[in-house]
Amino acid sequence: MDNLELAQHMLEAARAKGVMVATAESCTGGLIAAALTDIPGSSEMVDRGFVSYSNEAKYEMLGVQKATLKAHGAVSEEVAGEMAQGALARSKAGLAVAVTGIAGPGGTEQKPEGRVCFGIATADGCKTETVDFGAIGRGDVRAETVRHALRLMLAALKA
């Protein structure tokens, strides 16, 4: 299933549940929101998207704690979770997804190229996970991140 089909299914699930969605994106720079808003009628289910590429944007726009950024770095499940919770709190959404990662090129041994941390927040709480896509190239890491985020959103709506 490609990203367009995933986005369509996710929006149908959101519509069926009456849930609006929001995104908080770093490494994807708005590509998740773009995938969702490529679907006609998406304005019924998409409330807003936050592009928080810099650390400053993460704490100014989403309320990520400076201490969290300092202790764990921007590419961490802790930050992804706070991003998702911040997007949920600062929107009319009932579901928020957040992504932060290293699309490449570059990275370190501790945080390699292709590592992306995800957060999914609802009124019931927040779940996080990390996926290592590998050094597959910046564009492919970003595309796989969008696909994985859409799958996580769809799974959360079907839970």
Average pLDDT of the residues in 128-139: 97
pLDDT value at residue 86: 98
Residue 58 CA to residue 92 CA, distance in Å, equals: 19
User: 60 Cβ partners below 8 Å, 6+ apart?
Assistant: none
pLDDT tens column, 64-99:
999 999 999 999 999 999 999 999 999 999 999 999
Beta strand 125-132 with 115-122: parallel, antiparallel or unpaired?
antiparallel
What the block records as the tokens of 126 is: 């927040």
**pLDDT beyond 80 at 1:** no
Tens-digit pLDDT profile for residues 100-129: 999 999 889 899 999 999 999 999 999 999
Q: Which residues, in sequence order, are CB contacts of 56 under 8 Å at separation 6+?
A: none
pTM attached to this predicted model: 0.97
